[in-house]
């Protein structure tokens, strides 16, 4: 695989939508704005193959060469997110069907069933035609599969998906008797006599069994990854350029598996400037999907996002400078804008762009140019240094999200809950990582596992080995409480071995939300919330008790020595401002105990990122909230940072 050595500033470019005469001005303005890479092709299937098996790719191949001659390289995409009408006309069976049995119509994007055999065949054909034509062009530096897979739709429930679902079940369980036993299908007379009787999760009067619903989500995620991997194999026959996909944490994928066969991770996100902590969480997730490889922000807005249904607030002036600097400081290799030229038609006409539909710079142009200049100033330092693995690690799991989509309990949104937890760690000033379940724990000192209902055997083994060597594992809330079939355990409340290792036995599980039950730990009393576990200590030290006579002998927070380390059980979520303070004190307590030093004391609203060069550790300090800040540097004294600016300190 070819490495992409320089740092990239990318713009999404759609030459199929504009007259060829625009290209000269586009190139001039791109160079002025600091854009050195374009991404193209993801929505142009009908222009590439206007009728079946007639491929017309010269527009793109010639443009890639012309851009390269002017110092601009290309990421090329497979166009399978937008199949042409000739593929669906008179063939509704090829289209996506939701749980309500409604077929999608041609239009928009992602309207096809990705499991349809004919769609798969035509997808392979267009990908191979593209790979043959442009793979050896000198301006091609990377590939992107499709576009934002499963962003608009989740699980297809068409007849073809039903057929493949039953094959998947047979392979997974072997016999229908085993499925019935593990799913507990005697409940409500759901017991099946054959795999042919197992339904897809179409609408029912109340709800399908969670075992069916969660397994169907897992099946769907495996199949979309299978679809992508077909494209990857074809591209690699012709090209050694690296391959990625542009996703988002809210898309219906298992990203840990979806990126396994890709070369680097990239993502799209459109948070406004007041939601910068969500963007920082994304950075900390995506940089850990492909360890040792730089991640890319493939799409974000130069000014604001939007569509015909609405748009969020405009970025404040210079916010892009902070957003871009934070990305590269945290390990990015590329930072991209959607889009270059405002679309003159379609659902995203109001979306912010770098150039207007009439060819003039937009309100975001100067900020893009300013951010490009900033990157030019720090590129030598970024390229001669590397990001540092954090000693505080939190597990992020798309499988856990699938469980909560099935069983949201009191309206739990997994991503929002993880962001709530993430902001508390961020507020401490400690460097942190968010890693997938399969990640190695080398260098980790504190492992946090909130909202992981199903703790797999592999994860349990890895976490216990980590603790035995001296690590601190903070488990919960809502972790280890469901089997991998999305059922309850019957010999203990939590997964086998966890309670024993933690020195507790769960006595009660219920939700204390709005019930007046508070908990006290580390000198802080806060309301307890969400579905909770209350523990009888069996060797563990009690750190937090609830203020309710029914729970007098029980704890919601404990710690227990295990090997050379400690297992901390957080059975309930402290809420409100006092809850945030309690959680912060928990993180700080164990960080101090372990002597974790990856911390710079900067005011909240600012980000401190450590990097390592041949001269040692240095820090990027970036103002993210637009208020500017003053922090103390041990060598220089007070250091002032302007709004959305950054400084480098050693």
Q: Could you tell me if 586 and 615 lie in one domain?
A: no
Written as six digits, the tokens of 296 are: 């890319």
Quick one: 429 and 569 in the same domain? yes
Quick one: pLDDT at residue 335?
98
Q: Which of 208, 241, 274 is the last residue of a domain?
A: 241
The CB-side HSE value for 225 (13 A sphere, CA atoms) comes to 17
Cα-flanking dihedrals φ and ψ of residue 412, to 5°?
Answer: -70, 125
CB 9 within 8 A of CB 36: yes
Give residue 3's pLDDT.
75
For tokens 């598996």, the residue is 257
**Mean pLDDT score, 57-70:** 98
Give the integer Cα–Cα distance in Å for 103 and 85.
15
The residues carrying an active-site annotation are: 148, 299
User: Are residues 203 and 106 part of one domain?
Assistant: yes
82 and 216 housed in the same domain: yes
Residue 72's domain is classified under what CATH number? 3.20.20.80
Residues 105 and 130 occupy one common structural domain: yes
Percent of the chain's residues with pLDDT above 90: 97
- pLDDT-based confidence at residue 636 (cuts at 50, 70, 90): confident
Structure tokens at 620: 């990027």
650 — pLDDT class (breaks 50, 70, 90) = confident
Residues 393 and 447 sit within 8 Å (Cβ to Cβ)? yes
CATH of residue 522's domain is: 3.40.50.880
pLDDT mean over 611-640: 92
182, HSE (Cβ side, Cα atoms, 13 Å): 17
- 638 and 535 fall within a common domain: no
The count of structural domains within the chain is: 3
User: What tokens appear for 87 in the block?
Assistant: 């593929």
Write out pLDDT tens, residues 351-392.
999 999 999 999 999 999 999 999 999 999 999 999 999 999
Distance CA 579, CA 586 (A): 11
What is the Cα–Cα distance from 17 to 343, expressed in whole angstroms? 8
Residue 399 belongs to a domain: yes
**Whether 550 and 581 share a structural domain:** yes
Whether 620 and 573 map to the same domain: the answer is no
Res. 408 pLDDT band, cuts 50 70 90: very high
pLDDT score for 319 = 98
Q: What would the DSSP string read from start to end of 300-325?
A: E-SS---BTTB--PPPPTTHHHHHHH
Selection from 561, 513, 502, 496 nearest residue 535 by Cα: 502
| pLDDT score for 46 | 98
pLDDT, tens digit (0-9, with 9 covering 90-100), for 469-508: 999 999 999 999 999 999 999 999 999 999 999 999 999 9
Residue 119: partners with Cβ closer than 8 Å, 6 or more residues away: 83, 87, 94, 112, 113
Q: Which stretches within 89-140 are classed as H helix? A: 117-134
ω into 413 cis (within 30 of 0): no
The pLDDT of residue 632 is above 90:
no
Q: What is the pTM of this model?
A: 0.97
Strand partners, 36: none
**CB neighbours (10 Å) of residue 536?**
15
Give bridge partners of residue 186 from the DSSP assignment: none
Please indicate whether residue 636 or residue 96 has the higher confidence score (pLDDT).
Answer: 96
Handedness of CA 427, 431, 433, 439 (dihedral sign): negative
Confidence band, pLDDT 50/70/90 cuts, at residue 328: very high
Q: Is residue 11 part of a domain?
A: no
The pLDDT value given to residue 4: 83
Nearest to 618 by CA among 381, 458, 343: 381
What pLDDT score does 637 carry? Answer: 86
Q: Is residue 296 part of a domain?
A: no
Instruction: Give residue-wise pLDDT tens across range 217-246.
Output: 999 999 999 999 999 999 999 999 999 999
pLDDT recorded at residue 2: 75
pLDDT tens per residue across span 144-177: 999 999 999 999 999 999 999 999 999 999 999 9
Q: What is the pLDDT, as a whole number, of residue 409?
A: 97
Q: How far is CA 67 from CA 13, 30, 137, 140, 210, in A?
A: 11, 10, 11, 10, 52
| Helix, strand, coil % in the chain, rounded to nearest 5 | 35, 20, 45
339-313-308 Cα angle (round to 5): 60
Asked whether the beta carbons of 109 and 213 are under 8 A apart, the reply is no
Instruction: Please give the pLDDT value at position 237.
Output: 98
CB atoms within 10 A of CB 610: 18
- Which pLDDT belongs to residue 299? 98
Has residue 213 been placed in a domain? yes
Q: Flag whether 384 is in a domain.
A: no
340 band by pLDDT with thresholds 50, 70 and 90: very high
Is the domain of 478 the same as that of 432?
yes
Q: For residue 5, what pLDDT is reported?
A: 79
Q: Average pLDDT, whole number, for the chain?
A: 97
Residues 69 and 215 in one domain: yes
> Which token pair is 363?
């309100």
In this structure, the answer to whether residues 549 and 457 fall within a common structural domain is yes
Q: Residues 13-22: pLDDT tens digits?
A: 999 999 999 9
- In Å, what is the CA distance from 47 to each residue of 19, 37, 95, 126? 14, 22, 21, 11
Residue 339 pLDDT greater than 80, yes or no: yes
284 in any annotated domain? no
Residue 460, domain member (yes or no)? yes
Task: Give me the mean pLDDT over the 398-427 stretch.
Answer: 97
Report whether pLDDT(631) > 80: yes
- Span 535-555, mean pLDDT? 97
Which residues contact residue 66 at a Cβ distance below 8 angstroms, ignoring those fewer than 6 apart?
23, 27
pLDDT at 24 over 90: yes
Query: Domain ends where: 185, 219, 241?
Result: 241
**DSSP β-ladder status, 573-574 and 524-529:** antiparallel
- Alpha-carbon distance 79 to 323, whole Å? 29
Structure tokens at 4: 């992409």
User: Would 639 be classed as within a structural domain?
Assistant: yes
Listed residues 214, 241, 268: the one ending a domain? 241
By residue range, what is the domain housing residue 157?
A: 36-241
Residues 546 and 614 in one domain: no
What are the tens digits of pLDDT across the range 135-148?
A: 999 999 999 999 99
């Amino acid at each position: 695989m070819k490495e992409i050595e320089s740092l990239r500033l990318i713009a999404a470019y759609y030459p199929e939508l504009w007259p060829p005469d625009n290209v000269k001005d586009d190139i001039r303005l791109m160079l002025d704005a600091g854009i050195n890479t374009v991404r193209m092709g993801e929505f142009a299937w009908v222009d590439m193959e206007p009728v079946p098996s007639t491929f017309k790719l010269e527009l793109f191949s010639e443009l890639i060469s012309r851009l390269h001659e002017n110092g601009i390289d290309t990421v090329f995409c497979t166009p399978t997110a937008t199949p042409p009408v000739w593929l669906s006309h008179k063939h509704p069976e090829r289209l996506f069907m939701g749980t309500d049995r409604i077929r999608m119509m041609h239009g928009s994007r992602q309207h096809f069933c990705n499991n349809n055999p004919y769609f798969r065949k035509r997808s392979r054909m267009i990908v191979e035609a593209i790979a043959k034509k442009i793979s050896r062009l000198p301006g091609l530096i990377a590939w992107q599969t499709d576009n934002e897979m499963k962003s608009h739709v989740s699980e297809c429930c068409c007849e073809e998906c039903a057929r493949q679902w039953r094959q998947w079940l047979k392979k997974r369980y072997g016999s229908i008797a085993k499925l019935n036993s593990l799913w507990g299908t005697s409940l409500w007379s759901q017991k099946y006599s054959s795999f042919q009787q197992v339904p897809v999760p179409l609408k029912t009067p109340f709800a399908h069994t969670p075992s069916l619903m969660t397994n169907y989500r897992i099946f769907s995620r495996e199949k979309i990854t299978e679809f992508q991997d077909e494209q990857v194999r074809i591209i690699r026959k012709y090209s050694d350029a690296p391959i990625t996909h542009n996703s988002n944490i809210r898309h219906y994928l298992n990203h840990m598996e979806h990126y396994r066969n890709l070369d680097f991770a990239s993502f799209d996100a459109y948070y406004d400037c007041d939601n910068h902590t969500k963007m920082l969480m994304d950075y900390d997730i995506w940089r850990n999907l492909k360890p040792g490889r730089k991640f890319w922000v493939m799409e974000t807005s130069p000014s604001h996002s939007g569509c015909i249904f609405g748009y969020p607030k405009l970025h404040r002036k210079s916010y892009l400078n902070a957003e871009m600097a934070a990305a590269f400081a945290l390990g990015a290799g590329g930072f991209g804008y959607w889009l270059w030229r405002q679309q003159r038609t379609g659902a995203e006409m109001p979306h912010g762009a770098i150039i207007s539909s009439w060819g003039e710079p937009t309100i975001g142009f100067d900020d893009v140019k300013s951010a490009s200049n900033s990157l030019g100033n720090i590129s030598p330092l970024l390229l001669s240094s590397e990001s540092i693995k954090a000693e505080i690690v939190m597990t992020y799991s798309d499988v856990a999200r699938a469980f909560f989509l099935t069983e949201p309990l009191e309206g739990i949104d997994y991503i929002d809950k993880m962001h709530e937890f993430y902001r508390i760690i961020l507020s401490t000033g400690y460097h942190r990582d968010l890693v997938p379940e399969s990640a190695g724990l080398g260098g980790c000192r504190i492992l946090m596992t909130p909202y992981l209902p199903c703790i797999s055997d592999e994860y349990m083994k890895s976490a216990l080995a980590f603790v035995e060597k001296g690590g601190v594992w903070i488990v919960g809330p809502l972790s280890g409480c469901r089997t991998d079939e999305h059922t309850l355990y019957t010999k203990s409340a939590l997964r086998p071995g966890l309670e024993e290792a933690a020195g507790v036995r769960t006595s009660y599980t219920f939700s204390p939300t709005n019930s007046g039950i508070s908990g006290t730990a580390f000198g802080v009393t806060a309301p307890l919330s969400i579905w909770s576990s209350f523990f009888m200590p069996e060797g563990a030290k009690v750190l937090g008790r609830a203020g309710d006579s029914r729970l007098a002998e029980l704890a919601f927070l404990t710690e227990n020595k295990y090997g050379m380390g400690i297992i901390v059980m957080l059975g309930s979520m402290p809420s409100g401002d006092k809850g945030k303070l309690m959680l912060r004190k928990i993180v700080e307590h164990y960080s101090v105990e372990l002597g974790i030093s990856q911390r710079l004391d900067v005011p909240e609203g600012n980000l401190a990122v450590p990097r390592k060069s041949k001269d040692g550790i240095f820090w990027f300090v970036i103002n993210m909230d637009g208020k500017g800040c003053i922090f103390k540097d041990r060598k220089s004294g007070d250091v002032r940072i302007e709004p959305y600016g950054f400084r480098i300190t050693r």
